Structure 1
Amino acid sequence: MTRLLLGVTLERICKAVLLLCLLHFVIIMILYFDVYAQHLDFFSRFNGRNSSRAQSSNSSRPNGTAPSCGLASADPASSANRSGTEKPLPLCQEVPPGLVGRLLIEFNSPMSMERVQRENPDVQEGGKYVPPDCQPRQKVAILIPFRHREHHLRYWLHYMHPILRRQKVAYGIYIINQYGEDTFNRAKLLNVGFLEALKDEDDYDCFIFSDVDLVPMDDRNLYRCYEQPRHFASAMDKFSFRLPYAGYFGGVSGLSRSQFLKINGFPNEYWGWGGEDDDIFNRISLNGMKVSRPSGHIGRYRMIKHERDKHNEPNPQRFTKIQNTKVTMKRDGISSLQYQLVEVTRWPMYTNITVDIGKPPSRPARG
């Protein structure tokens, strides 16, 4: 009896195993035919494309077989025309897919220009770059007023080139270097940068004005122009990542070509530190525009600590000048700019424009 039960059990086990094998075989065959069908569909479409290409290429290749209708092969120029009508690149996405977000920015590690150049091999001479895989939405000139800040410039270039490339920006970087040791004039240098960048390439449609000691801490802070003038540095570590006052427009800002011309550019008469940013804010407001800003957690910037530059002492006339923007903005700006170009040098990572902007007017003696 025990042997009979054992035999029945073994028989059932064998049938179960056989059934499982059969089920496995059926599943394998289904998967096989599914993959086979996909390959068959792919090759049929591929061959269809090739046959259509072959038909068109036979009439364009000098050594191609003539069609059965007896037409002679086309001349070689048609091949050149075909290569010249390649599918255009797609428009770069509004929000580039390769952005990182919050960045670690530090200024303690040694930095050399050789390292910056080695890290950015696809940046062209003069600090210019165009995305290779999409059509940029804007062409941006980045202008930096400058004098004796080579140490800061190396850090700025080290961080900014990768950020701008991830943002799919077509850009050129221009260092506007004030010649001589007279009182510094930030706004006038930026006016010079606007004109000289357009002389270099006249199709710039966006201009970003940046201090060399400010680096963004988030690459989602997109360096482009907007419908309204843009203040990028909405949260600097210098001010505990808060806006110091509502009308602050300092550090890093951007205006389109038409916006810049509408306000007559920047004032030329602010010699020394302070005041020009408030004047620019007034010009924007007086011309019916509003300043836009990124959110506080995206518009964060870290500043490279430094002592105040020589010949850039606070301008004692700045408060009086700010109050008179409405009167002065039509006569003082890009329309009245005077300067002497000293030298233009195209380095691998930037274009240096050295310019003599003159001296501040002498102040009347007190009493």
Structure 2
Amino acid sequence: MSRLMLGRTLERICKGVLLLCLLHFLIMMILYFDVYSQRFDIFSRFNNGRNGSRNNSSGAASGHHFYYYNLSRPNATSAPYLAAGEQLVPSSQPDNNHTPSPKPLPPCPENPPGLVGRLLIEFSSQMTMERVQKENPNVTEGGRYKPPDCRPRWKVAIIIPFRHRENHLKYWLHYLHPILRRQKIDYGIYIINQLGEDTFNRAKLLNVGYTEALKDAEYDCFIFSDVDLIPMDDRNLYHCYDQPRHFAIAMDKFGFRLPYAGYFGGVSGLSKKQFLKINGFPNEYWGWGGEDDDIYNRITLNGMKVSRPDVRIGRYRMIKHERDKHNEPNPQRFNKIQNTKNTMKKDGISSLTYKLVQVKKYPMYTNISVEIGKPPPRPIKG
């Protein structure tokens, strides 16, 4: 009797297991066909979208709208899962030829996050152009650089008046290229080399640099820098501002103080609009001194004000050197400064003349060699 009941119990258990297996099989089949039907529906829409793209003209004529879904993109969304009111834009190209347009770059931040702040500047170690080039692999021919991850507000030409300062130039490039790259600036470096041994004319060379840089690219900001001045803080941002900018306000040779209120020397910047408003820089300051004060006068006489960085940020170190030959102090500079109002409309970028001799693009800068003439004979005293 006990054996009979045990057999019936086992029989019931086996039937239960069999029923559970059958139920599991039915559930799996239902899920399988449900998923398969969804995949089939998606690919049907995909093919309809492709056909609709190929037959867009006939579809438009019949009043039907066909949409194209690029399901190969990560996180792509097909039509059944779009929120109410959303639409996908029809494509005029098949999927296999469609290349998504690159996203526009965001604007560069006003205060780039990679800035270091106060810098240690020294000129005791030997500097070579090979070292400078190795340190700046992302700078392209002619000393050009553009940040790859954002869109700069300004396109900046940095212009350096130059003659016989090759050693200073190596240090300038060594320090400035990394600073400018950290500042996320779209820039080019232009060395304006005055040929010959006649009297040096800094302001006229700056006018030449402005003119020649615009032949190379559509710059809208111009920074004019002496080759022996290195900024000691990379938060001193080399771009243009609402007002003409004086960057080098605290040089070590002046005890890190502004020598006088109207000083505009060393490193300055103007937008293209500001530069043209003052008719550029004077061409008739031959020799050392005076042209910076004339430029300051031009700015104030045209209703603009000079902007400056904080004195703790606008610090500069100067490479020590002897005064250049044929760049002696200009004895006429004081009389000329007093006459800026009368001379600025006729003496400037509008009256610039020079002879372009050579333009050569080096890996770290563009060299522009020019002949700018000689100073007029000085009046005989008495």
Same fold (TM over 0.5): yes
Name the CA shift for 1:297/1:311 in 2 (closer, same or farther; >3 Å).
same
Query: Match for residue 67 of structure 1?
Result: 46
Name the CA shift for 1:71/1:331 in 2 (closer, same or farther; >3 Å).
closer
Q: CA RMSD in A?
A: 1.9
- 1:317 equivalent to 2:332? Answer yes
Query: Match for residue 20 of structure 1?
Result: none
Q: CA deviation at 1:366?
A: 2.3
Question: What does residue range 231-270 of structure 1 map to in structure 2 within 5 Å?
Answer: 231-270=246-285
Query: Match for residue 355 of structure 1?
Result: 370
Q: Is the 8 A contact 2:50 2:94 kept in 1?
A: no
Q: Is the 8 A contact 1:184 1:312 kept in 2?
A: yes
Q: TM-score, normalized by length of structure 1?
A: 0.80
1:2-61 alpha-carbon deviations (Å, 9 max, x no partner): xxxxxxxxxxxxxxxxxxxxxxxxxxxxxxxxxxxxxxxxxxxxxxxxx9xxx7xx8xxx
Query: Match for residue 29 of structure 2?
Result: none
Structure 2: runs of 5 or more not aligned:
1-37, 55-91
Pairing partner for 2:116 from 95, 100, 106: 100
1:152-203 alpha-carbon deviations (Å, 9 max, x no partner): 00000000000000000000000000011100000000000000000111x2
Query: Match for residue 313 of structure 2?
Result: 298
Pairing partner for 2:167 from 151, 166, 169: 151
Q: TM-score, normalized by length of structure 2?
A: 0.77
Query: Match for residue 237 of structure 2?
Result: 222
- 1:364 equivalent to 2:343? Answer no
Structure 1: runs of 5 or more not aligned:
1-50, 59-64
1:260-312 alpha-carbon deviations (Å, 9 max, x no partner): 00000000000000000000000000000000000110000000000000000
Q: CA deviation at 1:137?
A: 1.1
Q: Is the 8 A contact 1:66 1:72 kept in 2?
A: no
What secondary structure does 2:51 align onto? coil
Q: CA deviation at 1:77?
A: 5.0
- 1:334 equivalent to 2:349? Answer yes
Q: Is the 8 A contact 2:200 2:287 kept in 1?
A: yes
Matched residues in 2 for 1:77 and 1:71: separation? Answer: 8
Q: CA deviation at 1:85?
A: 1.6
Q: CA deviation at 1:126?
A: 0.1
Count the aligned residue pairs. 305
Higher Rg = 2
Query: Match for residue 173 of structure 1?
Result: 189
How many percent of aligned residue pairs carry the same amino acid? 76
What secondary structure does 1:67 align onto? helix
What secondary structure does 1:174 align onto? strand
Matched residues in 2 for 1:256 and 1:361: separation? Answer: 31
Q: Structure 1: which amino acid aligns with 2:224?
A: F
What secondary structure does 1:72 align onto? helix
Q: Structure 1: which amino acid aligns with 2:261?
A: A
Query: Match for residue 117 of structure 1?
Result: 133
